Structures are given as C-alpha cells and as structure tokens.
C-alpha cells in the first residue's frame, strides 16, 4: 500500500490538516512545521492520491486530446510534434495529457461525451478544426474549457491559435514562378477543413496576384496522407495538360506527390515543382528536400496548452487569438 497523508500525520503526531496545508505551501503553518512535514513526506515517498484529490477538488489536472478520426492512418509526424509540444508544457505544470484515437465518427463522439461527463479531463485541446465543428459546439454547450488550432465558423467564442500565410503563399508562388514553372495545381484536404479553406484561399489569391489561371480540375481534394497526395498527383500527371507546379496542403501529401512525380520519370525541381506546408522534420530528408511553409508545430501546441492552463486557473488571457506566420523554406523540390 502506498503512503497516505494519514501515515505522514501519524508519524509526526500532527493532524492531517496540517500536513495537507504544509505540502500545499499555505502560510498558515509554522515554517518549522512545514519544513519538517515536507522533509518527512519526501522521505516516506508520499504522493497525494490523485483520485481522492480530484474527487475533493473537482478537478482532474488532466487535459484531453483526441486525435481526430478524420486522420485515417494517424501516424502523421504532424501529430507527434503536436503531442510532443503539449506534453512538454503540461508535464512542466504537473498536468497530465490523456490521449486517445478512434477510428469512427461515432466512437469519437462517444469518447468526448465520456471524458466530459466522467470528469476525466478538465479541458480539451482541438486540432484540424472544421468550418462547422461539432466538437466546438459540444464542448461549448458542456461548459468545459477548450482551445484549438484554428477557428470554426460556428459563432462560438474560444481562445485559439490561427495561421496567417497570405503573404508567405504569395512569396512561395513567386519563387516557384521565377524558377520557370507556370502550370499550377493545388492538392488539398477535405473541403470543410479550416486549414484547407485558408490554404486554398491563399493559393487562389496568390494566383490572382501573379496573373495565373488555374483550371478547376487542377484543384483536388484528398485525405491529406502521402497516399492521397500520391494518387492525386498520379491522376494529374496522366491528364492531357499536366501541371508543372504542385502545391500541397501539407507536407505528407507532398511526399506522395514527390513519389508520383518520380514514378512518372519527372525530375522534381527541374521538370516539376512540388511544395508542402507545415515544415515537419522529414521534409528536409525528402528527395529532393521539400520546399515548404514552415510552422512551429510543437511551439504552437505548447502555446495552446499554456492558454488552456491559464483558462483553467481562472486567469485572464493576454490574448484570445494568437496569429502565427509560417516561414518560407525553399529547397530542391522547387528548383532550389
């Protein structure tokens, strides 16, 4: 049996109350007593029972993250970097991170419901926000705090981080154009994803500014996996008027695009340009190294976790909206 607060109290012949207050650092305990308590507790290996504290305080000191069921094969490095960032921030503040993944929409719904109603977690961090997102609506209705990467259009006010890349997208396109490519295509994600909506918007506005025409069938929706990018690119390259510049909604899709282009015997960077978005680590080791709009994924996750903790502790947020701008990283895949 692990040590309880009573064991510590008995050992020192003082009340449980005093031990509790001393360990929590309140100043209504004599300094001498406090030091003695802390020392003894450490020596005895006492750690408060989480369930008991949680039940009493009505707080779980745990944050939930459910990997969206959209991500079929969710081994995408993006999520790993995201989780890494959240985990770092939370464990530094003695909060835990509860993670789960689900394969179906129903299971996802069910899990949110369970975690909320069983008070397993104090708050949620969301990702891959959709234009209309039931998670946002559900959590808001449940009155449980949450933050997200991306703002849904449900008219619900919540703290979020968003990415603003209109200018950088223009830079990217000018760079690709300057290297001699002109027939652009956009390999996107599911059409109701905020990421997709934003990135396609930036793509379109950049084409307009560059005086580029993009036929409708050069804008494709995929599942944002490398396989999706591969298939979309294969299809594009088989058309009568294939593109020579493929901009992808994320790096994963771009990896698939690189693969498909090579398979068609095209030297990437010379005969065709490919670019991604996110700047995940492996983009550097692609062949050729992938041009991308680099966002600090782990850092964004860290900031989101930080915002949520502020919220949970009832502190005023400095800002309920944080804007991140990506950095254009030009590499071999667009001609260097």
Q: Which residues bind DNA (CB under 7 A)?
A: 1, 3-6, 13-18, 20-21, 23-24, 27-31, 33, 46, 48-49, 52-53, 55-58
Are 252 and 225 spatial neighbours (Cβ–Cβ below 8 Å)? yes
Give me 85's structure tokens. Answer: 């960032």
To the nearest whole angstrom, how small is the minimum distance from the Cβ of residue 312 to its own copies?
A: 16
Q: How far is the CB of 15 from DNA (least distance, A)?
A: 3
Q: Which has the closest alpha carbon to 263: 287, 247, 245?
A: 287
Considering beta carbons, is residue 144 or 254 the nearer one to DNA? Answer: 144
Contact assessment for residue 184 and residue 207, using Cβ atoms and an 8 Å cutoff: yes
CB of 305 to DNA, least distance (A): 23
**What does 84 bind: its own copies, DNA, none (CB cut-off 5 to 8 Å by kind)?**
its own copies
User: CB under 5 to 8 A by kind: which of DNA, its own copies, none does 256 bind?
Assistant: its own copies
Min dist CB 40 to DNA, Å, is 14
Residue 280 touches which member of DNA, its own copies, none, C-beta under 5-8 Å by kind: its own copies
Alpha helices, H only, the chain: 5-12, 16-23, 31-44, 50-57, 77-92, 105-117, 134-142, 166-178, 194-210, 226-238, 251-263, 297-312
Three-state DSSP state, 139: helix
In the complex, least distance from residue 34 CB atom to its own copies, rounded to whole angstroms: 21
Strand partners, 292: 329
If the CB atoms of residues 192 and 289 are measured against its own copies, the closer one turns out to be 289
135 to each of 4, 19, 131, how far by Cα in Å? Answer: 39, 41, 11
Q: Return the number of the residue (29 or 274) whose C-beta is nearest DNA.
A: 29
Closest CA to 64 of 127, 154, 158: 127
Binding site residues, its own copies, CB under 8 A = 2-3, 45-52, 54-55, 60, 62, 67, 73-77, 79-81, 83-84, 87-88, 90-91, 96-103, 107, 111, 113-114, 116-120, 226, 230, 255-256, 258-259, 262, 280-282, 284-287
Looking at 179-213, list the stretches that DSSP marks H as alpha helix, in order from N- to C-terminal side.
194-210
The option from DNA, its own copies, none interacting with 122 (CB < 5 to 8 A, set by class) reads none
Per DSSP, what are the bridge partners of residue 291?
275
Residue of 78, 74, 67 whose CA lies nearest to 295:
78
In 153-167, which positions are buried (b, 16+ CB within 10 angstroms) versus exposed (e)?
ebeeebbbbbbebee
- Which residue shows structure tokens 């949450």? 146
Token code pair at residue 218: 């050069």
Closer to DNA by Cβ: residue 29 or 176: 29
Do 12 and 41 form a contact (C-beta atoms < 8 A)?
no
Structure tokens at 267: 């030297």
Q: Looking at beta carbons only, is 66 or 197 nearer to its own copies?
A: 66
136 is in the binding site of which of DNA, its own copies, none (Cβ under 5 to 8 A by kind)?
A: none
Q: Tell me which of DNA, its own copies, none is bound by residue 96, counting a contact when its beta carbon lies within the kind-specific cut-off of 5 to 8 angstroms.
A: its own copies
For residue 36, the minimal CB distance to DNA (Å) is 9
Classify burial at 14, counting beta carbons within 10 Å of its beta carbon; exposed 0-12, middle 13-18, buried 19 or more. Answer: middle
- Residue placing its CB nearer to DNA in the complex, 32 or 104: 32
Q: Could you tell me the smallest distance in angstroms from the CB atom of residue 219 to DNA?
A: 50
Selection from DNA, its own copies, none that 120 binds (CB < 5 to 8 A by kind) is its own copies
């Amino acid at each position: 049996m692990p040590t309880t607060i009573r064991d510590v109290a008995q050992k020192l012949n003082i009340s449980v109350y005093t031990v509790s207050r001393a360990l929590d650092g309140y100043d209504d305990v004599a300094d001498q007593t406090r030091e003695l308590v802390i020392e003894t507790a450490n020596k005895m290996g006492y750690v408060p029972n989480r369930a008991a504290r949680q039940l009493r305080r009505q707080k779980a000191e745990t944050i939930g993250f459910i990997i969206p069921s959209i991500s079929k094969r969710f081994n995408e490095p993006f999520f790993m970097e995201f989780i890494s960032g959240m985990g770092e921030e939370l464990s530094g503040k003695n909060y835990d991170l509860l993670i789960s993944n689900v394969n179906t929409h129903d299971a996802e719904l069910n899990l949110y419901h369970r975690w909320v109603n069983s008070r397993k977690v104090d708050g949620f961090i969301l990702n891959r926000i959709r234009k209309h997102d039931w998670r946002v609506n559900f959590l808001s209705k449940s009155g449980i705090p949450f933050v997200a990467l991306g703002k849904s259009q449900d008219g619900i006010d919540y703290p979020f981080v968003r990415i603003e890349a209109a200018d950088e997208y223009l830079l990217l396109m000018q760079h690709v154009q300057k290297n001699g490519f002109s027939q652009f295509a956009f390999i996107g994600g599911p059409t109701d994803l905020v990421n997709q909506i934003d990135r396609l918007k930036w793509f379109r506005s950049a084409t307009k500014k560059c005086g580029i025409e993009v036929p409708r069938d050069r804008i494709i929706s995929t599942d944002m996996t490398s396989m999706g990018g591969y298939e979309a690119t294969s299809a594009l390259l088989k058309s009568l008027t294939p593109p020579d510049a493929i901009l992808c909604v994320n790096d994963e899709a771009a990896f698939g695009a690189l693969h498909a282009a090579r398979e068609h015997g095209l030297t990437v960077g010379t005969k065709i340009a490919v670019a991604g978005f996110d700047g995940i680590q492996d983009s550097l080791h692609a062949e050729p190294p992938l041009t991308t709009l680099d966002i600090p994924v782990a850092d964004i996750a860290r900031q989101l976790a930080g915002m949520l903790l502020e919220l949970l502790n009832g502190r005023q947020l400095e800002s309920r909206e944080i804007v991140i701008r990506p950095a254009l990283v030009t590499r071999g895949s667009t001609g260097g």
